[in-house]
Amino acid sequence: MDGDQSASMGGFFAVRKGGPGSGHVPLAQLYAGDLEPLSGRIDRVGARLRTPERRVAASIVHLGFAARLWSTALGPAALHGVFPDPDAGALHWNPGASVPDDLCWAAEGVLPGTVDHIREAVQYGHLVPFSAALRRDVRISSRLLWGNTGSALAGALHEVERWARAHGRPEVTDRARVLSAGLLSHPDLSGTVSGPGLRRTSCCLYYRCPAGGLCGDCVFDRPPRRP
C-alpha cells in the first residue's frame, strides 16, 4: 500500500506511522473513561473559535475527528483495496495537535477495504466510543453527532472524487462511491445526508461561533437567527 499516494488526496488522508510522540495517548485510554485529554481538546477548540458554548466546540472536535478517520480508511480502500488498521490500542491521539497532525499509527497492519471492515474498524471501533466519550463530557445531541459522521464521510468521498478526476482514475471514484453508499446505508447514518451532492440534514453549529458561518453542505441556506 502506497501511503504517499493516499496522502496526495489531502492532509486528512495521510497516515503517520511510528512511535507516538510526546502528548500522544492511545485512543483506547480515552474510550475506557479517561476524559481529560478530550475535555482539554474541546476547551482549546472553544477558545480558538471564541465560543462560550462547549457543545459547539465539541461538535467541531467531533467533525474533524470523524473526517480524519473516514479519510484514512476510504482513500486507501478505494486506491488499494486495503486500509491501515486503526486498532484503538495502537492508534494514538494527540489532543494538543490540530487535525490532521493529531493521529499516529503505532501498528503496521492493514485490513480488507470492504464496507463491513471499514464499518467495524472506524464506525464501531472509534466513532461510536468517541461520541459516547464526548457525550459524557458535554451535553450534545446524538442526532447532531451522527449528522457530523455522515457529513464527514461525504466530505471524504468528495475529496477522493476530486483526486480521481485530476489523476484520470475513474475506477477509484467508482470504488469510493460503492463503499460510501454501503457505509451510509447503516441505520444510524441513513438520512444524515441527502441528494446527489450529499447535503447534510442537520447542522454542526459552526454558525454559532462569533466568526462562524455555514459549511458548504449545511442544511440551512442562511444562518439561523441567534438569541
pLDDT band at 20 (very low <50, low <70, confident <90, very high): confident
In the chain, domain spans: 3-208
> pTM (2 decimals)?
0.94
* CB 211, CB 205: distance < 8 Å: no
Cα–Cα distance, 223 to 191 (Å, whole number): 22
Q: pLDDT tens digits for 110-128?
A: 999 999 999 999 999 999 9
pLDDT, averaged across the chain: 94
Query: At what angle are helices 54-80 and 128-137 packed, to 10 degrees?
Result: 170
Give how far the C-alpha of residue 133 lies from the chain's centroid of Cα atoms, to the nearest Å.
15
Q: Which of 189, 115, 180 is nearest to 147 (CA)?
A: 189
Cα–Cα distance, 133 to 112 (Å, whole number): 28
DSSP at 224: P
Cα–Cα distance, 227 to 220 (Å, whole number): 17
User: C-alpha cell of 128?
Assistant: 461510536
Cα–Cα distance, 202 to 193 (Å, whole number): 8
Q: How many residues does the chain have?
A: 227
Cα–Cα distance, 181 to 184 (Å, whole number): 5
Residue with more model confidence, 153 or 99 = 153
Amino acid at 26: P
Cα–Cα distance, 221 to 70 (Å, whole number): 26
Q: pLDDT tens digits for 139-197?
A: 999 999 999 999 999 999 999 999 999 999 999 999 999 999 999 999 999 999 999 99
